[in-house]
Structure formats: structure tokens, C-alpha cells
A and B are shown apart, each in its own frame.
Chain A
Amino acid sequence: MNAPHHPFSRRDFLRVTTLAGGGFALSLALPPEAWAEVGQALDDTAKFFTPGPFIKITPEGIITILAKNPETGQGIKTSLPMIIAEELDVDFSTVVIEQAALRKDVGPQFAGGSRSTPDNYLRMRQAGATARAMLIEAAAQIWQVRPTELSTDQGKVIHAASGRSLTYGQLATKAATLPLPAENTIKLKRDDSFRLLGSRVGGVDNPLIVTGRAEFGIDQKLPGLVYAALEKCPVFGGKVVSANLERIKALPGVLDAFVIEGTDNINGLLPGVAIIARSTWAAFSAKRQLQIVWDESAAPGHSTEAYAGQAAILAAAGGTNIRREGDVVAAMATASKVVTGTYFYPFLNHATLEPQGCTAWARDGGIEFWTTSQTPGSGQELVASTLKISKEKLKLNLVRAGGGFGRRLANDYLVEAAAIALRTHGAPVKLTWTREDDMRHCFYRPAGFHFLKGAIDAQGRLSAWHNHFVTFGYKNTERPASSASLSPDELPARFIPNFELEQSIIPTIVPTGPMRAPGSNGLAFVMQSFIDELAHAAGRDPVEFRLELLGNDRVVPPAAGQRGNPYDVGRMKAVIALAAEKSGWGQALPRGQGRGVAFHFSHAGYVALVAEVMVTTDGTLTVRQVTAAVDVGPIINLSGAENQVQGSIIDGISMAWLQEITHDRGRTVQSNFNDYPLLRSTETPAMSVNFIQSKNPPTGLGEPVYPAVPPAICNAIFAATGHRIRQLPINKTDLRWS
């Protein structure tokens, strides 16, 4: 692996300090004379060149780029500023990266849907190119030459004809006096002249992370800070009847304890008992001594077992038609082979390593937050509507999150911190959830059941597909719950002549929500596993069978009325072919070893994976190798992109092999990493990451790789052992063979 450049750069000794009034200043580990210069500059912000919110250049040559979106580990704090730096033409290692708070002038600020790159790519390029054009114009005016005679190089404007050059810092004061040029006059760089984009750049916070100085949500320090814990009802929808508050308030270190009545908004402020204390441990200790009488009447009979029973009954009864094409019944009747299979994937928890929490400070009629939210704008609205505070009085600082994976798209912890902050008499308060809180109060990836029937015709082709999808509705049987729906366009719809999809809904009280590649993260397992079953039933090579299913290179539009991206068949076939080639697909392996292939299109990304596994006769599984081929267009940061692919593979193996959230009597059974495991270092496979950098607009990479991992692993297990995994996690299945 090549080294990303400059691990310890100038930003390592630059500190950005927030000033009252929302501005910021740089304090530098610099010699005193340089300090004086900086001080002067701070007194005269008119000399700063700030062409819009994203760039600031001081006369001393300090270049600051704003990172607009929440950083949750996806690397966006590095990659979006890189796009600006490319067009601005500066040495990225010398740039100061400033994390934006929630503000109104930078466009939507959220981390979700793998949208940050596609939504901001042109905006970031435009910002950098505009600033560069203005710096050139400033130099042209100073030298009395035409701008077309000038070029730039890594923070300097150059007049080649006369051999003169000026740094951006030297031009800042002049550039600050120029009007912003019209957007249509700005010329962007040619893609083939990129110097920074596509290279390997280390995360901008790495030097702080490896020395323990990066501040995550849980690390906020404020004068007079107090600490809070919150106990919510383990049964979803439960309410507080009474609690031993007087005893809790008398415990050492406890400052206050009170009931939060909460609201009926499942995504909002739920009922519970809050404890405010002098330390986190005092709050946690007191929490353990809480005796709360809960009203659990809202949740009779909700359990994993009951859901499975209901699914079987619904499947037998038939469901609502979602999509019908051709004549499935006739195709099944004339098929050379018909295969049936019942698939299941469980509820999952995001299990961000940093538990949910938030720091909030209520004063002067408003509240300031330090939050890891992936959707701070929605969080602001939730607090405003729940606590009846004007949005203008809610300031949200965005701080680095210890993982997101979609959990922080919800803002429950934020509104909880706000409600508690109103009770601290002006002291800032840090709410920290325990791991047990986090495991039991989630917007879970919903479970799903698929009752499948597929047909192979006389030519060995997939000719018909029938799926009865049994999913969950939140307290209803009409509408799927959050992230529990199945697009009628989901593969193999649109690719085979006879297709039918039915749906039934089990009512649940379990809160559900988006998790990394929502929808896709369960569906790809089902579709790509069952396609594999059909390929084997047809006696066909699983790669060939898939390429044939996709058909000729073409762009398949979404069905009428459907949202979603057009499906570029050529791009998908190219990644399948590349994954096959790089993985040694087709080369013989001894018994007990096997390769499995899977592909999936989601979040505008084209992904194919080949997994290679070994299963010993006693059923011990080893994932030896995963080969990924990915087309998300041009890569912004090669190091970060590889990280996302490798991380998605590890995450996908954790999910496929180990993870399951179950419910009993309306509550989550699992509590911590002892019963909800993550993959460990000893179980890590070799990984090969291969990008096809097609000339399409760049799209996001946080999500699209994850869904294809479970089917690739399960298909490999079948190839190795003949065991077909139809139920996740894999560790539910006895893999012994002889």
C-alpha cells in the first residue's frame, strides 16, 4: 500500500478555536513574530479572502477549507475539502480543515444515502474554481496583464511570460475587494489534469486520533459540565408509572433525577427517567439503582418467535400484489425445473462503537449542542417542535462521530439531551448512553421473510420468479415500516419475462430505520442467494448465469412511477467480470473450499464480490478471501475509498455470520457485544479491492458494497459444502459435512 502523504502536517500544530460570535481564529505553534502577524490579521478580517463560505485565505497565506458535512468515519471531512483544494490548486497538506457547524449557506448538511459525494461534487469544484479565478483576476490587476496569461501552481499565481509569481496569501487582500464572478464564467479543470483527486490522502484528523486528541461526541469538555444518564422503558412504547426518585437523588454525586414524560413520536422524545450527576460513573451507578414501575401494556405478545409464526400464516394466505409481469403460473408449469426457498434475515442494531449521546448547554433562552447527528438539520427541527423553542435559538456544532451507519440519522439522543439541559440551571450537560441502552433502543434494521419460487426453462435460463415478501409495519398492516419496504424494481424484476411480487405486513412495535444500505442490506442476500440456487439447479456456472440474466449492455430505466436510479447493465457486467477475473473464478478448489459470487446495485454504485471460504468437516467456517470490483465513477480519495470497501466487507461478514437482534415480550433480548458480536481481527479475510473508474459522475461509497457481502459468503459456503444458507446469521446453521 502506498503511503498517503504527510502524516504529520502543519495542521497537526494548528488549532482552530471557536470565538464568540461564530467566527474562528487560528492559534499556531509559531514563533512570536509570526504570532504578531496572525494577531494583526485577526483584527482586520477585511483583508481575508473569503469567496463564499468554503474558503478563507489570510494575507499570511493560511488557507482554510470548510468541511460541510458530518464526519462519521466515512471520510467526508477529508474528501469534500479535497475537491475544493483540487480546483483551488493548493497543496492539501498545508490546508487547515475546519468542520462546519450547522449553518444556512452551505447547502444541506447530512451524512446519509451515500449522497455527500454526488450532491456536493460540482458545488465543491465550483467553490474552488471560483476562488482560483478571483486570485488570478487579482494578480492580473496588480500586474496589469490579461488573466489568460496567468496560471496557478499549488498556492501561487504565475505569470510565465515575465517569470513573476505571487502567493495566494499575497493576493488575498486584493482578491477580497473583487466581486464574485458569475457562475457561468467559471471554468472547471479538465478531469485528466487532476493532481489531488484520485490520490491517496490520509484522514485529516488522523494525527489527532492517534494521539487521543480528536474530540468525538462523547469527549466534549465545557466549564461546569455535568453528566447525565437516561433510563427508558425496555419494552417499546412503555411509559413511566413511578420511580424511586428520592432515593436516587440522595445517592453520592447525584444532582437531580426526574421523569421525562416524553411524546408519542417514536423518533422523538420517549418517556424515561433522567439522572444528572457530577460524573458519568455516578450517573451510571445511580441508573443501576433505579426502580421504575413501567406501564408495559402497549406491547403484548411481540417476540421473534411470534413474528415467525405470523409470517408462515401470512405466506400461506397470499398477499397484496406489488408487481406482475408475464405469466408466472404458466412459466412454472412448463419449466424444466422449479425451485422453492424460504429466506429470512433478522433485525439488526447499528452498534456504532461510540454509544449514542449528546452534549447540550441551555442558556439565554436557547440551546447549543455538540452533536454527532447525521441529520443535524432534522435534529434542530425535532428539538424546536418538541420543546417549543425557536430554531434560531438552537445552535448545533457538528463533532466527529464514532461511527454512524445510519443510527445517527435519528435524533432521539439530541432531543433527550435538550430536555435534560433545560433542567440543569444553566450548566452544560453531557448525556451518555450505556451500551445496553444503545442495544435496546435503536431504530433497528427490520427483519424480513421471503417465500420464493423460481423456474428454469428448457434452455437453462431463469424464466420465472415469484416472491411473497413478508415484512413489518409499525403498528399497522398497510404500510411497511421505515426501511422495511421492497422496491418493485428490485432484481430480477425488469430482467425476466415472468415476475410476480406479493407483500404481506406483520404489525410490530419495534422501531425500525435505515442502516447502511437500507433495504438492500437484506434484499441482496435473498436475491443473490436464490439466483445462485437457480444457477446450480440449472447446472450453470453462477457467473455466466448472472451475466446472461442481465442481458445486453443497456440502461434499464426504473419502472413507471418508481423512484430510483437507472440500471446500467454494462457497468454491472463489467464489475462482475472483473471480480471473477481477479478472484481466480473457475479455478478448482479442494472439497470444503468454495467461491461464491454476488452483485448488487444500490446508491448508484455497481458492486460485484467473490468470496472464498473454507469449512472444515466439523463445520468451522473461515472466510479466506473477498475480492471486490466496484464502479462508483471516479474515485476522490483512493485511500478512503479502499477503507470504505474493506470496512463494508468486514461489516458484511459480521452481519452475515454473527449478528441477530431478537425480541421477547416486546423488548430486545441482546444487551452488549457479548451477545451481539462484531468480527474480530483473527477472523479477517484477505481482501482485494478493484475499482473501475468509469467516466460517470462520482457517487458515494459508504453503502453500496455492504449488501453484496452476505450472499457472496453464503454462496461460497454452498460451493464448499452443499449447505444452502437461507437464514441469517450463518451461525444458526450447522455447517458440518462429510
Chain B
Amino acid sequence: MPTYNLKVNGAVHKIEAVADTPLLWVLRDQLELTGTKFGCGIGQCGACTIHINGVPARSCQTPISTVGAMLITTIEGLSPDGSHPLQKAWCTHDVPQCGYCQAGQIMSAAAFLQSNPTPSDQEIDSAMAGNLCRCGTYLRIRTAVKDAAKSMQNGGRP
């Protein structure tokens, strides 16, 4: 079985896995980073969203063999202590219902705010359209993303 040196959340992990194994299952089963969720397995729901070199990616559609030395960030590594402005805004606005999709939502939003720090409502909705929420928390997600953007503008550390 091939071996990979995976750079996840600032640490290097030696992983043995079949080449076609989606990163999702390496993170979840082998590294026990279960914050990244399995929802559909076909890149439709966004629950498995992570960052690869800062760019949002669907980990269920990313074979481990394609990752190489790229830097992977999961929800567990987004901030050291849950203090990312998005994480705070998600709590302030009580966004989660079941909460299952929310790690993916936050990871999509975090990458989005890097590229567009002052988004309009419409831009937020478009950027988040790849992340399904079965419970229907979209309005609060929009409010929380907007709130986090504002706090980052005012010097809040991403």
C-alpha cells in the first residue's frame, strides 16, 4: 500500500492508504479528525469541505494520491481555540440546528472571506450555494458570515 506524508493542520502524518482513498476517509478514519463530515460522497452537499493550500475543496472528491505536499486545513485546525471570527459569529447567532453541515459551511465561508472580505448578501449566498443545510439555517449563516466579515474588517484575527 502506498505511503503519503500528509500535512494536516500544521502537522505531518505518515499515512498508508490505497491511492484512490478520498481524503475525507483518511481524515476521519485514520487521523480521527471527524469534524469533516460525509454527506453524499459525490461533491453535492459540501459537508466534507476543507482547505487545500487555502482553497476550499471537497475532501470526498480528493483522492489522497493527488494531495502531495499541499497544506490541508480542517475545521479542527481553522483556529487554535475556536476563536475564528466565523466560529464566534456562528455561536453568537446560534446558527446550528443539527449542526452536521456546519463545519463545511464554516470552511467554505472562511475561504470565501479571504477572497472577498466585504461581501454583499447576494455574494455570500452565491459563495455558500455549494453547501447544503438540511435544517435550513441559510439566513443565519448569511448573518453570521456578514458579522464575521465586519469583525475581521475591524481587526478580528481570522
Interface residues of A (CB under 8 A from B): 1, 3-4, 7-8, 12, 72-75, 200-203, 205-207, 209-216, 218-219, 221, 227, 252-253, 279-282, 284-285, 351-355, 400-405, 432, 434-435, 639-640, 643-644, 646-651, 654, 672-674, 678-682, 684, 686-687
* Residues in A whose Cβ lies below 8 Å from that of B101: 353, 402
Residue of B45, B106, B134, B142 touching A210 (CB-CB under 8 A): B106
The smallest C-beta distance from A462 to any residue of chain B, in angstroms, reads 33
A252 touches B18 (CB 8 A): yes
Select from chain A the residue with minimum beta-carbon distance to B128. Answer: A681
B125 touches A73 (CB 8 A): no
The smallest C-beta distance from B77 to any residue of chain A, in angstroms, reads 9
The smallest C-beta distance from A71 to any residue of chain B, in angstroms, reads 8
A200 touches B82 (CB 8 A): no
A279 touches B25 (CB 8 A): yes
**Is B13 at the interface (CB under 8 A from chain A)?**
no
Known: A73-B135, A281-B22, A674-B44. A214 touches B99 (CB 8 A): yes
B97 touches A684 (CB 8 A): no
* Residues in A whose Cβ lies below 8 Å from that of B97: 73-75, 203, 643-644, 647
In angstroms, Cα B29 to Cα A4, docked, is 35
Residue of A213, A219, A279, A681 touching B125 (CB-CB under 8 A): A681
B32 touches A221 (CB 8 A): yes
In angstroms, Cα B98 to Cα A681, docked, is 17
* Residues in B whose Cβ lies below 8 Å from that of A252: 1, 18
**Is B35 at the interface (CB under 8 A from chain A)?**
yes
B91 touches A435 (CB 8 A): no
The smallest C-beta distance from A139 to any residue of chain B, in angstroms, reads 35
Closest 7 CB pairs of A and B: A212-B35, A650-B136, A73-B98, A402-B100, A7-B91, A212-B75, A209-B99
14 A-B residue pairs with CB within 8 Å: A206-B96, A209-B102, A210-B102, A210-B106, A215-B34, A221-B34, A279-B25, A284-B41, A435-B41, A640-B94, A654-B136, A672-B44, A674-B42, A681-B126
Residue of A72, A214, A218, A673 touching B132 (CB-CB under 8 A): A673
B40 touches A672 (CB 8 A): yes
Select from chain B the residue with minimum beta-carbon distance to A685. Answer: B139
Select from chain B the residue with minimum beta-carbon distance to A4. Answer: B94
The smallest C-beta distance from A356 to any residue of chain B, in angstroms, reads 12
In angstroms, Cα B92 to Cα A673, docked, is 30
Select from chain B the residue with minimum beta-carbon distance to A13. Answer: B81
Known: A12-B82, A353-B101. A684 touches B138 (CB 8 A): yes
Tell me the dominant secondary structure on chain B's binding face.
loop
**Is B30 at the interface (CB under 8 A from chain A)?**
yes
Residue of B21, B37, B140 touching A354 (CB-CB under 8 A): B37
**Is B52 at the interface (CB under 8 A from chain A)?**
no
In angstroms, Cα B101 to Cα A354, docked, is 9
Select from chain A the residue with minimum beta-carbon distance to B136. Answer: A650
**Is B39 at the interface (CB under 8 A from chain A)?**
yes
The smallest C-beta distance from B76 to any residue of chain A, in angstroms, reads 5
* Residues in B whose Cβ lies below 8 Å from that of A680: 129, 132, 138
User: 0/1 per residue, B61-101, Cβ < 8 Å to A?
Assistant: 00000000000001110110010001110111111111111
Interface residues of B (CB under 8 A from A): 1, 17-18, 20-22, 25, 28-30, 32-42, 44-45, 47, 74-76, 78-79, 82, 86-88, 90-103, 106, 124-126, 128-129, 131-143
Known: A280-B28, A434-B41, A681-B142. A210 touches B82 (CB 8 A): yes
Residue of A206, A353, A640 touching B134 (CB-CB under 8 A): A353
Q: Which of B30, B34, B125, B126 has the most CB of A within 10 A?
A: B34
B32 touches A203 (CB 8 A): no
* Residues in A whose Cβ lies below 8 Å from that of B93: 1, 3
The smallest C-beta distance from B109 to any residue of chain A, in angstroms, reads 11
In angstroms, Cα B28 to Cα A221, docked, is 10
Q: Which of B20, B37, B103, B135 has the most CB of A within 10 A?
A: B135
Q: Given contacts A73-B100, A252-B18, could you give 11 more A-B pairs where the C-beta distance is less than 8 Å? A: A12-B82, A200-B94, A211-B87, A218-B37, A279-B29, A281-B21, A282-B18, A351-B134, A353-B100, A643-B140, A646-B139
In angstroms, Cα B34 to Cα A403, docked, is 17
B99 touches A281 (CB 8 A): no
* Residues in B whose Cβ lies below 8 Å from that of A400: 98-99
The smallest C-beta distance from A633 to any residue of chain B, in angstroms, reads 21
The smallest C-beta distance from A589 to any residue of chain B, in angstroms, reads 22
In angstroms, Cα B100 to Cα A647, docked, is 14
B36 touches A353 (CB 8 A): no
Residue of B103, B125, B143 touching A1 (CB-CB under 8 A): B143
A281 touches B29 (CB 8 A): yes
Residue of A4, A75, A282, A681 touching B92 (CB-CB under 8 A): A4
* Residues in B whose Cβ lies below 8 Å from that of A282: 18
A219 touches B34 (CB 8 A): yes
Select from chain A the residue with minimum beta-carbon distance to B82. Answer: A211
In angstroms, Cα B36 to Cα A670, docked, is 25
* Residues in A whose Cβ lies below 8 Å from that of B106: 210
Select from chain B the residue with minimum beta-carbon distance to A673. Answer: B44
A646 touches B91 (CB 8 A): no
The smallest C-beta distance from A457 to any residue of chain B, in angstroms, reads 41
A639 touches B94 (CB 8 A): yes
Known: A206-B91, A673-B44. A402 touches B18 (CB 8 A): no
* Residues in B whose Cβ lies below 8 Å from that of A219: 28, 34
In angstroms, Cα B141 to Cα A73, docked, is 16
* Residues in B whose Cβ lies below 8 Å from that of A354: 37, 39, 98, 100
* Residues in B whose Cβ lies below 8 Å from that of A215: 34
Known: A211-B76, A435-B40. A647 touches B137 (CB 8 A): yes
Residue of A200, A210, A401, A648 touching B90 (CB-CB under 8 A): A210
In angstroms, Cα B37 to Cα A401, docked, is 12
* Residues in B whose Cβ lies below 8 Å from that of A285: 18, 20
Select from chain A the residue with minimum beta-carbon distance to B93. Answer: A1
A682 touches B39 (CB 8 A): no
* Residues in A whose Cβ lies below 8 Å from that of B86: 210
